[in-house]
């Protein structure tokens, strides 16, 4: 009982320091923007965003959701959901069955991965990007512009490639 009281007092003393920050440190989401956060900023999270399905403007840290996770602007860290992970500017990891990003520097892992630009790795059944600087590893890989990178899969399509459609391996360096 003394340990629980000690932890409660420590949290009570530390809470004003946490609450003085501009960003939410912990966000608990029910659905979309129906959420509570400590402190009261549900749109800019620097810490943990946890819920069933959430929509957040920026996340620096960890976004864990059961169904879907959406970050409207910047994601720096990890976004994981069982079904859908969507983010605009990603620096880190996106993980879900269906993954969509705009500008990705890092890793996308899912059954379906879609992005406008990736500088890193796409790993899944179907990978699609307009601009690839990195590696696509999947059953079907598509890149409109393969700048510098490698495609590994059963069917690899790169519109600007020496051979636009290749089986097993395609690359440009």
What digits encode the pLDDT tens for the residues 125-146? 999 999 999 999 999 999 999 9
Q: What percent of the chain has pLDDT over 70?
A: 87
Q: Quote the percentage of the chain above a pLDDT of 90.
A: 71
The token pair that represents 42 in the structure block: 């549900």
Tell me what the mean pLDDT of segment 12-25 comes to.
52
* The pLDDT of residue 100 is above 80: yes
Residue 4's pLDDT is what?
Answer: 52
- Cα–Cα dist 103/115, whole Å: 7
Task: Kindly list the domain boundaries of the chain, sorted by start residue.
Answer: 1-69, 97-173
- Whether 96 has a pLDDT exceeding 80, the answer reads yes
- In angstroms, the first-to-last Cα distance of the chain is 63
Contact by Cβ (8 Å): 135, 119: no
Q: What is the pTM of this model?
A: 0.83
Question: Tokens 């169904």 correspond to what residue?
Answer: 67
At residue 78 the predicted structure's pLDDT band, cuts being 50, 70 and 90, is very high
The tokens of 167 are what? 């089986």
pLDDT at 34: 77
Would you place residue 22 in the very low, low, confident or very high pLDDT band (cuts 50, 70, 90)?
low
* Averaged pLDDT score across all residues of the chain: 87
Range in 19-23, 33-37, 166-170 the model is least confident about:
19-23
- Alpha-carbon distance of 122 to 161, in angstroms, equals 18
pLDDT at 161: 83
Say whether pLDDT at 27 is over 90. no
Which among 111, 36, 49, 58 is positioned nearest to 80, based on CA atoms? 49
What is the arithmetic mean of pLDDT over 108-129? 98
Which is more confident, 85 or 10?
85
Give the pLDDT of residue 15: 43
């Amino acid at each position: 009982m003394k340990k629980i009281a000690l932890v409660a007092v420590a949290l009570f003393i530390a809470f004003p320091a946490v609450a003085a920050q501009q960003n939410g440190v912990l966000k608990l989401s029910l659905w979309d923007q129906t959420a509570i956060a400590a402190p009261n900023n549900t749109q800019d999270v620097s810490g943990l965003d946890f819920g069933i399905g959430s929509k957040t403007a920026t996340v620096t840290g960890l976004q864990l959701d059961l169904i879907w996770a959406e970050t409207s602007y910047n994601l720096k860290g990890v976004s994981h959901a069982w079904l859908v992970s969507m983010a605009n500017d990603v620096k880190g990891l996106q993980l879900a069955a269906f993954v969509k990003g705009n500008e990705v520097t890092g890793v996308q892992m899912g059954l379906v991965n879609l992005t406008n630009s990736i500088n890193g790795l796409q790993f899944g059944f179907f990978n699609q990007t307009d601009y690839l600087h990195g590696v696509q590893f999947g059953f079907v890989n598509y890149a409109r512009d393969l700048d510098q990178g490698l495609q590994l899969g059963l069917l690899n399509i790169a519109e600007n490639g020496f051979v636009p459609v290749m089986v097993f391996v395609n690359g440009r360096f």
